[in-house]
A = this chain, B = another copy of it.
Amino acid sequence: MIRVPAEPIGRLPDAWRHCVGTGRIELALRRDYQDSLKLIQDDIGFRYIRGHGLLSDGMGVYRPYEWEGARRVHHSFTYVDQVVDAYLDLGIRPFLELGFMPAELASGEQTVFWWRGNVTPPRSHREWAALVKATLTHLVDRYGLDEVRTWPIEVWNEPNLPDFWENADITAYHRLYEVTAGAVKEVDASLQVGGPAISPGADEWLDRFAEFTEERDVPVDFVSKHAYTSGPAQHVPFGVRQTLAPAQHLLDQFATPRNRLKGTRLAELPVHITEFNSSYRPDNPVHDTAFHAAYLAPVLAGGGDHVDSFSYWTFSDMFEEAGIPTALFHGGFGLLTHRQVRKPTYHLYAFMARMGPELLARGEDHLVTRHADGRVTVLAWAPVDVSGETPGPARHRLRLHIPLGSWEAFVRRSTVDEEYGNARTAWQRMGSPRSPDAHQLDVLHEAAEPGRRHLRLPVAEGRVAVDLTLGRHEVTLVEVSPVQDESPPWADERRLLGGQPR
């Protein structure tokens, strides 16, 4: 029996919901995307959103033309404005990532993804700087400096990988960073710029980024990197299988920048994990499972110890890096499928959003918080086995002794596991319909609802004993509320049908 302290041991950090990832920015023009983001903002409430492709051709920003014999450039914000207006309307702000390269400004033809983002350096750094300045200037004009200075600005994405930056050329990246940071600061010195947005396994880039920016006195307002735990992809049609390292590896990766940058000029800066997930593949079915929620639960509970934000990659399956999905469940990164079916990991986030601000306790399988109104909220999860050798223990027991200021407690429990809050299980039972019809979608939406129970428990000596048995891969949210009994003295269930009490 774990005795939960009556006094808070701190505040629950907000890093888990500081930011969320998205498929390329152009997709934000879509209805399904905006419907999903609305649902997510209502239930979870992320602060920022980050995705690729702000400057790619699909957004139509860089627009050279000829006039009177000379080459000129329009910078056009038709779609940028539609996207940012939509974000702000939905209560979320852009975490700007500057990239990829407009084809007509690119020095080469190498592209990444099905949608062909150009990943070569600019043909002209002067024009690139002008593009960056025009973009930031426009945003400041339209949304105000007070607003835009709260938006982090990240330079490029995973330049340490040759798929994302031609030859993974560190010198070229540093040059791009310097030019970009300079352009940003020319617009306003209070705008926040950062990088190097590296993928896992390239932490030496942090050291060199610190050296370079110190040497040349290049502005850096935050440091960013990514974290993933999957092994190499074993391909099947429209999908992959991958091994996963234990979730602790994510926390370890989060911890790297602060450890590594100690003593450098970047030591005290905010650290943002601008992407994290288990697998880095948008076609790995693990993303759709209850396992995944249970796997990530300790990461959400503890990640805030190490960084200022860690951004789940991504909020929706509206995502096309590996092509257009061919089935409703296809292993996409999304917390939501197309058409807003909630996955188990969605519920993990929604449960976190219902935790209170006061942190009462934290353990390897639980997190306990309190709200201002006295309600105590427990997030608990079953341990998982990433080897896949066993599906994890069938039952996991957790007993908490929870402080509560009343005579009785109302306990409300929401469960996500292999059976409940798990539309993929229903989908498989229905025959894995790639294009579910309206009736099937209705079933899936219903199957995505968590299991729910409630009961009333006595409070003894200011404490309720909450005894939880978790199923395989279960994540559960338990709310314990004080009861004030208003039932009148004449209430008597035994006389409901008019008879005398037996």
B431 and A410 contact, CB distance less than 8 A: yes
Chain B residue, CB-CB nearest to A295: B497
Q: Shortest CB–CB separation between residue A251 and chain B, in angstroms?
A: 20
B435 and A443 contact, CB distance less than 8 A: no
- The interface residues of chain B lying within 8 Å CB-to-CB of A434 are 74, 76-78, 486
A81 to B483, CA, bound (A): 20
Chain B residue, CB-CB nearest to A438: B85
Chain B residue, CB-CB nearest to A285: B496
A496 and B289 contact, CB distance less than 8 A: yes
Q: Shortest CB–CB separation between residue A293 and chain B, in angstroms?
A: 14
Choose among B412, B489, B495 the residue that contacts A241 (Cβ–Cβ < 8 A). B495
Say yes or no for A87: interface residue by CB 8 A criterion: no
**Most chain B CB atoms below 10 A, which of A66, A373, A498:** A498
How many copies of the shown chain assemble into the complex? 4
Say yes or no for A386: interface residue by CB 8 A criterion: yes
Q: Shortest CB–CB separation between residue A161 and chain B, in angstroms?
A: 21
- What 1/0 mask marks residues of chain A from 363 to 401 whose CB sits below 8 Å from any chain B CB? 000000000010100000000001111000000000000
Question: Would you call the interface of chain A mostly helix, strand, loop, or mixed?
Answer: mixed
Say yes or no for A138: interface residue by CB 8 A criterion: yes
Chain B residue, CB-CB nearest to A78: B325
- The interface residues of chain B lying within 8 Å CB-to-CB of A86 are 31
A502 and B389 contact, CB distance less than 8 A: yes
Comparing A16-24, A163-171, A229-237, the segment that makes contact with chain B is A229-237
Q: Shortest CB–CB separation between residue A469 and chain B, in angstroms?
A: 18
Known: A60-B326, A289-B496, A497-B286. A487 touches B76 (CB 8 A): no
Q: Shortest CB–CB separation between residue A432 and chain B, in angstroms?
A: 4
A326 and B452 contact, CB distance less than 8 A: no
Comparing A93-101, A185-193, A256-264, A422-430, the segment that makes contact with chain B is A422-430
A449 to B453, CA, bound (A): 11
A381 to B60, CA, bound (A): 38
B499 and A389 contact, CB distance less than 8 A: yes
B-contacting residues, A107-151, CB 8 Å = 138, 142
- What 1/0 mask marks residues of chain A from 74 to 94 whose CB sits below 8 Å from any chain B CB? 101111011001100000000
Known: A29-B31, A142-B437, A496-B289. A490 touches B236 (CB 8 A): yes
Chain B residue, CB-CB nearest to A317: B78
Chain B residue, CB-CB nearest to A320: B60
Task: Give chain A's interface residue range (CB within 8 Å of chain B).
Answer: 35 or more
A408 to B484, CA, bound (A): 50
A446 to B454, CA, bound (A): 10
B454 and A447 contact, CB distance less than 8 A: yes
- The interface residues of chain B lying within 8 Å CB-to-CB of A485 are 431-432
Q: Shortest CB–CB separation between residue A471 and chain B, in angstroms?
A: 14
A434 to B243, CA, bound (A): 50
A67 and B433 contact, CB distance less than 8 A: no
- The interface residues of chain B lying within 8 Å CB-to-CB of A410 are 429-431, 443
B429 and A454 contact, CB distance less than 8 A: yes
A408 to B430, CA, bound (A): 9
A238 and B429 contact, CB distance less than 8 A: no
- The interface residues of chain B lying within 8 Å CB-to-CB of A29 are 30-32
Say yes or no for A455: interface residue by CB 8 A criterion: yes
Say yes or no for A481: interface residue by CB 8 A criterion: yes
A486 and B78 contact, CB distance less than 8 A: no
- The interface residues of chain B lying within 8 Å CB-to-CB of A237 are 65-67, 72, 74, 488, 490
B432 and A487 contact, CB distance less than 8 A: yes
- The interface residues of chain B lying within 8 Å CB-to-CB of A483 are 429-431
- The interface residues of chain B lying within 8 Å CB-to-CB of A490 are 67, 236-237, 239
- The interface residues of chain B lying within 8 Å CB-to-CB of A496 are 241, 285-286, 289, 291, 388
A495 to B241, CA, bound (A): 7
Say yes or no for A34: interface residue by CB 8 A criterion: yes
- The interface residues of chain B lying within 8 Å CB-to-CB of A79 are 324
Q: Shortest CB–CB separation between residue A147 and chain B, in angstroms?
A: 13
Say yes or no for A59: interface residue by CB 8 A criterion: yes
B338 and A78 contact, CB distance less than 8 A: yes
14 sample A-B contacts, Cβ–Cβ < 8 Å, listed by A number: A58-B324, A60-B323, A60-B325, A67-B236, A78-B324, A82-B338, A241-B495, A241-B497, A244-B497, A388-B496, A410-B430, A410-B443, A429-B456, A432-B486
Q: Which 4 A-B pairs have the closest CB atoms?
A: A60-B324, A388-B497, A243-B498, A432-B487
Measuring CB to CB, which residues of chain A are less than 8 angstroms from any residue of chain B?
29-34, 58-60, 63, 65-67, 72, 74, 76-79, 81-82, 85-86, 138, 142, 230-231, 234, 236-239, 241-244, 285-286, 289, 291, 323-328, 338-339, 373, 375, 386-389, 408, 410, 412, 419, 426, 428-435, 437-439, 443, 446-447, 449, 452-456, 481, 483-491, 494-499, 502
